[in-house]
Structures are given as C-alpha cells and as structure tokens.
Amino acid sequence: MKILSKITFAALLITGVACSQKPTQEPEKVEINLMIKSEKVGEYAGKDVFKYTLNNGTMQVELSNFGGLISRIEAPDKNGNLENVTLTMDSVEEYLTRQNPFFGATAGRVANRIANAEFTLDGTKYTLAKTNGDNHLHGGVEGFNKKVWTGEPYSNDSTIGVKMTYLSPDGEEGYPGNLETTLWMELTTDNTLRIRFEATTDKKTIVNLTNHTYFNLSGVKGDVKDHEFQFWADYYTPVDEELIPTGEVKDVTGTPFDFRTPKILGDQMEANGEGFDHNMVMKLEKSPDMKHFVRVKHPVSGRVMDMYSDNNGVQFYTANFLSDFAGADGITYGQHWGFCLESQNWPDAINHDNFPSPVLNPGEKYEHTIEYKFSVEQ
C-alpha cells in the first residue's frame, strides 16, 4: 500500500511593486512529496509484521509495528549525501529472530532500570523479571520491544506517520493493570521525527515509555567520540556500580556531565572514565511544556540533531556495552559507535520518593512527546 500526498506552495516574489500593481513574474511553485509505503515483511506470534517507509523528499525514516521500531533514518549531510544515521540491522525481518541491544525499539512498560526488580504500590509488592543482573531493565523478558502493535498509516499536508496501539494485559511481565498504549511516529516537512505516547490503565500501575534509537550522525563510519554535544541540564542523577540511581540529584558544575556549553564527547568521556549511562535532569518537576533538551553536531558531515521533549529527563547512553555487533550494510559496530537519548522519567523513580512519580492511576492519561529535528550546518 502506498499513500502519496503532494503539496504545492505558490510563492509571490514581488520587489519594488506597489500593492495595486500586478506581480512582475509568475508565482514560483515548489512541490513537496510526502510518501508512506507499507509492506508486510513477516509474522510474529501469529500477527502480521509491517515495514513502513516515510519519505518527505529530503529524508527517509523506516519504522515497524514490531516493537514500535525505528529501523533506519536516512538524513543528508552538508553536501546533500543521504546516509543512514542509526545503528540497525539490514532488514526488519532480522529483528524477529536476532537478539540486539534494543536498537530503535520502544521500551516499556517501564524503560530503564528498577532496582532489585521489585516495587510496591499501596502496600502490594510486585516482583518483576531480573533482566539486568539483579535488576529489571526496559520492561522485562518480553517488553514492548517484542510486541506486535496494531499499525495504521496516516498523512496530512505537513506530516506522514503511523499510529500504533497495544494493549498490555493485567499482570504482563508482573505489572498491574490493563494498559492501553497508543504510539504515533511521524515525519514532518521540516525534517522533524516526532514520537508521541499516550497510555491509560484500569488499575494503579507505573509507566515510563521511551524510544531506544542509537544515533551516529557520521553515517555510521566510526565511533561517536567526535560528535559535539550540548545539554540544557543543570543536574544529573549519580548511579551506583549497578547503574541504579543513588537518589542524589547533583549539580553538573565542575563534573564531566557539564555539557551546558558545546563539548566534544570524547573529551568528556575520557574525563568520566567509561562513557555515559546516566539520567540528565531536564526538569525537576513534571510539566507539559516542550523543552529543548539536547543539540548534537557531527562537525565533519555537518549533520545536526536537536532533541525536544516534555518529559523530566533523558538517559544519555554511549553504547558502553556494545562490542563487535554485525550491523547493517556490512558494518561491524564497536564500543561507543552510537549514542542514545532516551527521553523519559528518571530511572527507578518508583523506589525514590524524591524523584518525579511514574505512577499512573485509572482516569488519568500518560502523555509523552519527543522530537528529533535534523538539519545541516557548513
């Protein structure tokens, strides 16, 4: 199935002409073609798996209803060369059978770590799968990254995308409540990849959803240490040896976490020892306001990615545990070949009273929006 939406803008170019006079030249017409291509690529757990390709004429994004997946992003460099800027595999079909470190996936019900794989709500203790040492990570053994969502492509004059829904039943992976989740992934005419989540529950539960794409703005030509980062974050949450937050909220001043002015990632990684896998604090309290979280630039290619979100933090991960992974296009990914900017609530928040609460009650709606805007600079 292919959906094609063609938009034509007429621009009047008038110089030194009075309002009562006719324009001296014909309007310039600019055509922008927005295309969605939908293709069945396999089955998983008895359900159809699709690959969706979004194309706005400048860049291209590949999605799947398996795992709410972003499987590829192709963006131009300063010379107009279109290249993939994510760590991925050659096809969506590979995701159905091959283990990978959450490349491009939707992480849930609760992204990041929960200490000791347990939490308590209203006096009831819930026990989860230990998938990261003694801790719970990214929703469990079969989290949202391994579910087949119901997908529905859509388009309008400025946006093309796919709406996906998934009902997580009460007790799935140990979580309480039937959680109805809706995910929109869309590409706009101004090269913004927008991800929106909504969720409701019929029983008190906890929710923290995000996307886990590994970016590499070089076109995946090496590690990401040459990328330049700027975070609008005054604080971060320190972690223990198991990467569980200690509960402290620490000022970034005088630390390798101070990216408030642009810094080369490799310099900060060296100062920090072994890269980053930490929550950068973007808001101390919840609010619906969209905030400019991060700006990343790859100086050689000129590619720039600006990230915006309405959430409280972003997990900054520099692929510390990645090693010799046979990725797409015959490329072997090594340590630090990608970075993740996982917009989210703070990790292990349910076990820290001073962290923003991840609790969702019946009658409430969980809402979360992420935007990645791509551009180039010479």
Phi and psi at 338, nearest 5°, equal -150, 165
Active site residue: 138, 212, 227, 336, which one? 212
Distance CA 223, CA 214 (A): 12
Six token digits for residue 177: 């409540």
| Ramachandran assignment for 133, one of left (phi > 0), alpha (psi -120 to 50 degrees), beta (any other) | left
Side by side, the strands of the sheet bearing 291-297 are 150-155, 159-168, 179-188, 192-201, 366-376, 303-309, 291-297, 228-231, 263-264
Residues 6+ apart with CB under 8 A from 247: 352, 354, 355
Note if 212 is an active site residue. yes
Note if 368 is an active site residue. no
Distance CA 196, CA 343 (A): 11
Distance CA 52, CA 1 (A): 10
Active site residue: 62, 172, 342, 371, which one? 342
Catalytic residues: 212, 342
